[in-house]
Structure 1
Amino acid sequence: MRLIVIPLLGLLLTACQIDPYTHQPTWTGTDWYDAGKEDAMNGVAAKSSESLAANFNDPKVDRSAYLSGYKEGREKICQENFVYAWGLAGKIFPASCDTADNATQLRTAWQQGMDEGTKASRLN
C-alpha cells in the first residue's frame, strides 16, 4: 500500500506545478467598437468619453468607433419582439432604445411584455 501511495502523491504534486516561463499576455488596447456594441446590447445609455476613459483605464477613447458599435448594438436590441421579451422577464426598458426612431412603439411592446409577465407571476 505504501508503495502505491508515495508515487501517487508525487504524481499529484507535480500536476499542480505552475510553469514559471508562462508569459503575461500583451495589452492590445481597448476595442471601442465592441465596447459600444456591448453597452447598447446591455441596454445602457451611451457613455461620455470621460466615463469610458475612466471605466477602461484608457485615455485614448475612439469615440467614433464606440458610437458605431453602439449603433449596431442598438439596431439589434431595439426591436419590438426583443423589448417585449425584456418586459416579460421583468427587466427595465433599455436606455439604449430611448433614442430610437420607433421608441414609442418599443416602449408599448415592452409595457405589454411587462404587464403579461406581472400577470403570469401573480398566477403562480
Structure 2
Amino acid sequence: MRCLALIPILLLSACYVDPYTHAPTPAPTDWYQAGWDDAMSGQPIRSNPVIAHLHNDENVDREEWLKGYADGQQRICDPNFLTVQGQNGKSFPASCETLPDVTDRRAVWEKASREGLQQSLMR
C-alpha cells in the first residue's frame, strides 16, 4: 500500500521545472510603437532615462520613438478625435500641449466636453 502512495509523488516530482532555467529572452523594444503608445495615452514627451526605465531597455532609439510619438500625437490631437474625447468626459491629452495650435484644439475639446456634460445631465 505504501508503494501505491509513493507513485503519485514520484510522478509529480518528475514534472518540476525550475522557472529560472528557461527564462525567455525579451524581444527588442519597438521604439516606434512605444512612442505611438505614449502619445495615444496622452503622455507628454519623455526623457530618454524615463523611456529606458519604463521599457526596461537602456538602448533607446530616440529618433524612432519621436517618429511614433509624432504619428500618435497627430492621431489623438485630431479635432474629430478630441471632440469624441471631450463628449465622453476624457481629459485633454498632455501629448497635444506641444502643438503650435494647442489653443484651437483645446477650444474644440472644451466645447465638446461641455456638450457631453449637458447631455449626461439631461438623461
- Does the TM-score normalized on the shorter chain lie above 0.5? yes
Q: What is the Cα deviation at residue 24 of structure 1? A: 6.2
1:33 matched to 2:32? The reply is yes
Query: 4+ residue runs of structure 1 moved beyond 3 angstroms?
Result: 23-26
Q: Tell me what 2:102 maps to.
A: 103
Counterpart for residue 12 of structure 1: none
**Number of the residue aligned with 2:82:** 83
How many residues are paired up? 104
Give the distance between the partners of 2:34 and 2:45, measured in 1 at CA: 10
1:74, CA displacement in angstroms? 0.8
Q: State the 1:26 CA deviation.
A: 4.0
CA distance in 2, matches of 1:27, 1:52: 17
Q: What amino acid is the match of 2:46?
A: K
Q: Name the amino acid aligned to 1:27.
A: P
In structure 1, distance between residues paired with 2:83 and 2:24? 41
SS of the equivalent of 2:109 reads helix
Letter in 1 for 2:65: Y
Cα deviation 1:59-105 (Å, max 9, x = unaligned)? 11111111111011111111111111111110110111111122111
Distance 1:27 1:57 in 2: 10
SS at match of 1:96: helix
Pairing 1:1-124 to 2, within 5 Å after superposition? 25-124=24-123
Task: Give the residue type in structure 2 aligned to 1:32.
Answer: W
For structure 2, which runs of at least 5 residues remain unmatched after alignment? 1-14
Structure 2: distance between partners of 1:79 and 1:58: 31
Give the C-alpha shift of residue 56 in structure 1.
Answer: 0.9
Partners of 1:28 and 1:92 lie apart in 2 by 33
Q: Percent identity?
A: 41
**Aligned residue in 2 for 1:14:** none
Moved more, 105-114 or 25-34: 25-34
